[in-house]
Amino acid sequence: MKNAISRRKFFYKTVGISAGALVLPTIAGFKFQEKSGGIKPMIITSHANDLGQKAMETGWEILRNGGSAVDAIEKAANVIELDPEDTSVGYGGLPNERGVVQLDASYMDGKTYSAGAVACLENIKTPASVAKLVMQHTDHVLLVGAGALEFAKAWGFQEENILTEKARKIWLRWKEEMSPTDDWGAPEHIQNLQKKESYWRDFPDIEHHYGTTNVLAIDMNGDIAGCTTTSGLSFKLNGRVGDSPIIGAGLYVDNEVGAAGATGRGEDVIKSCASYYMVLKMKEGRAPQQACEDALKMIIEHYKIVNPDYYPSEKFVAINKYGETGCATMKGNRNPQMSVMTSKGYSRYEGIIAFQGK
Ligand code: ASP
């Protein structure tokens, strides 16, 4: 085991910046802004595609008109949740192993130190909005399953079938490949052609095989809010809850510091309280970029004794109260990106692959 650890290829790129510097260099596509006064308003999402841009433009309209970060992130998240083509979030999200879409979402308001979340919510397209209501209208933080649905309906949300045809077909294809020996198995003549996860090859247009979105914003008053919303891991066990609705895991916001959010395998993020950790790191003076990398490193360190070659699939995003940004992923073929919108317009910031397995 000792040898295995020392042989491990440990590829860790650090960002050469010192906390407290006034003007920070541009590294790997990041623009580090001046700290004095900070950048506000601003809004970011971990969705770095066209849909992410649309979401940012929607949130930005609210922010630039003096609206709150709390309201801007909801409208931005709703854009992604309501898109039937996005298979990772809200309506159109991939279902659990039983073919049922169960959504998780969390919300946090840095100004009032309040939070709300829903988990395993079925039949409602916009779980971020329900999480916001839990935050604003109850003394609780997390509602799950039937209770979350009852709460949503009480607030006028319409129960709908949120399993799209596209998501249903992907789920069926997955199920078909689960066994070559029973009725769900693939036809005999193609069994030998089957490879794990070949169902994705039948759906080449799908950008996200799993996924989540984090939306973080600072409004004109300098108040910070964030939300995380997801359909969770595809084909998860019925009732499984990921990190997204767990405050401190999939999301954390502190008005005095900044905000952080996570996507990727939620089990690792829950155990590491990764979003809280990132905010804590920023409080200690680390830049958002460094905080994202710190959290990834911390997770790898925890697994080192058990499996030195294990690199989970997390992607972290963070902002601090000055409007500096960070984004890092554990591994991958291309650098992670996120969408950012400020008064300078929309841009896609490229983050860093902090670690790379062998
Ligand atoms: N973090 C989500 C979960 O574990 C999934 C993802 O981000 O892909 O539910």
Q: How confident is the model at residue 84 (pLDDT cuts 50, 70, 90)?
A: very high
The beta-strand segments (E) located in 5-69 are 42-45
Which atom, in ligand 1's list, is nearest to the CA of 240? Answer: 9
Least confident residue range of 72-76, 187-191, 343-347:
187-191
| Residue 107 in this model has a pLDDT that exceeds 60 | yes
pLDDT at 32: 39
Domain boundaries, the chain: 40-166+206-356
Which atom, in ligand 1's list, is nearest to the CA of 263? Answer: 7
pLDDT at 23: 30
pLDDT at 213: 97
Cα angle 243, 315, 126 (rounded to 5 degrees) comes to: 50
Most confident of 111-120, 299-308, 328-337: 111-120
Least confident residue range of 136-140, 267-271, 305-309, 314-318:
305-309
Distance CA 97, CA 188 (A): 23
Q: How confident is the model at residue 202 (pLDDT cuts 50, 70, 90)?
A: low
In Å, how far are 40, 66, 91, 200 from 253, measured between CA atoms? 16, 20, 26, 35
Q: Which of 210, 214, 270 to mutate to test the pocket of ligand 1 (most atoms within 8 A of CB)?
A: 210
The beta-strand segments (E) located in the chain are 42-45, 103-109, 114-121, 142-144, 213-218, 224-230, 251-254, 258-263, 315-320, 325-329, 337-342, 345-350, 352-353
User: Any residues with Cβ below 6 Å from ligand 1, and which?
Assistant: 210-212, 230, 232-233, 242-244, 263-266
Which atom, in ligand 1's list, is nearest to the CA of 212? Answer: 7
Give the CATH architecture of domain 40-166+206-356. 4-Layer Sandwich (3.60)
Tokens of 112: 């009032």
Nearest CA to ligand 1 atom 4: 266
Nearest CA to ligand 1 atom 9: 232
Distance CA 215, CA 45 (A): 4
| Residue 186 in this model has a pLDDT that exceeds 90 | no
| pLDDT tens per residue across span 244-279 | 999 999 999 999 999 999 999 999 999 999 999 999
Catalytic residues: 212
Q: How confident is the model at residue 334 (pLDDT cuts 50, 70, 90)?
A: confident
